[in-house]
Amino acid sequence: AELDRRAPFMAQRALYPDPALPDQAWLFMITTTGCVLQGDRLALEITLGPGARAHVTTQSATKIHSMDANYARQTQHFTLDEGAFLEFLPEPLIPHRNARYASDTRIVIHPSASMLCSEIVQPGRKYHHPDECFGVTLLTLASSASRPCGANLFNEKLVIDPVRHAMRQAGVMEKFDVFGNVILCTAPDIAERVHARLTAEVDMDQGIAYGACHLPNDAGLIFKVLGRETAQVRRKVRDFWEIARQEITGANIPPPFFWQ
């Protein structure tokens, strides 16, 4: 209904390409500079009215360029009215060596609305240079959610600070390279049905680990994945997306793009 976009953060016009949900608008975000650079301040605000459906993603991975000064920051605000449904599934985040990046995501959601929000974080350009793998200087990803009345639902923050806290230790990344984090804000009955269909596993031989648990205050579920390669994590995030959409809308997700 309304679209305001300013370089270097751009948004294409809404498309309706999904036969399973023909009323769901798809919107692709584009960073016109190619990489996120030091000093960049990016802001994304999305509001869904009653019963609205949308799928928002990015055209490619978000690459955080190396920095010798300052840092980059992104703020994201999502507001979902009664019965709204939002799938926010951006492509992976790739922090380059010596990058500094902070992201703050805030969700205001009606009890009858549902939102799927994912993050996939790669360790850097690990095949480009040995020091690229977890060579980021500082990366923080904060998420919080509340009701329209202001009642807080949950707060979560991921901090990657390799100089102070080694990434290869047990309980952090150990032998894994890629991290996936998916938040599903939805009604308690839907969350229970989704959770009942999920499995959890730690397979060190295949290099994959995943599982889900309930968010506090009946806010929904959080699903976490560790993998050695991005493709492994993407597949598990996609599996979770498929289950969540089926339980929320009764529709299947579209087939993957041929380049994925």
pLDDT at 32: 84
CA torsion through residues 21, 22, 27, 28, sign: positive
pLDDT at 128: 85
Start-to-end CA distance of the chain, whole Å, equals 31
Whose structure tokens read 């009858």?
112
- DSSP 8-state assignment for residue 255: P
pLDDT at 1: 86
Share of the chain above pLDDT 70, in %: 99
DSSP β-bridge partners for residue 157: 142
pLDDT at 260: 61
At residue 69 the predicted structure's pLDDT band, cuts being 50, 70 and 90, is very high
pLDDT at 33: 82
pLDDT for residue 259 is more than 70:
no
110-136 average pLDDT score: 92
pLDDT for residue 127 is more than 90:
no
Q: Tell me the CB-side half-sphere exposure of residue 237, using CA atoms within 13 A.
A: 28
pLDDT at 191: 98
Q: Which of 65, 62, 124 is nearest to 92 (CA)?
A: 62
Residues 6+ apart with CB under 8 A from 200: 210, 211, 212
Q: For the segment 17-47, what is each residue's pLDDT rounded down to a tens digit?
A: 999 999 999 999 988 887 899 999 999 999 9
Measured CA to CA, the distance from residue 36 to residue 62 in angstroms comes to: 7
pLDDT for residue 118 is more than 90:
yes
At residue 133 the predicted structure's pLDDT band, cuts being 50, 70 and 90, is confident
| pTM of the complete model beyond 0.75 | yes
DSSP strand pairing (41-48 vs 9-11): unpaired
Measured CA to CA, the distance from residue 153 to residue 168 in angstroms comes to: 31
pLDDT for residue 85 is more than 70:
yes
140-149 average pLDDT score: 97
SS3 state of residue 127 = coil
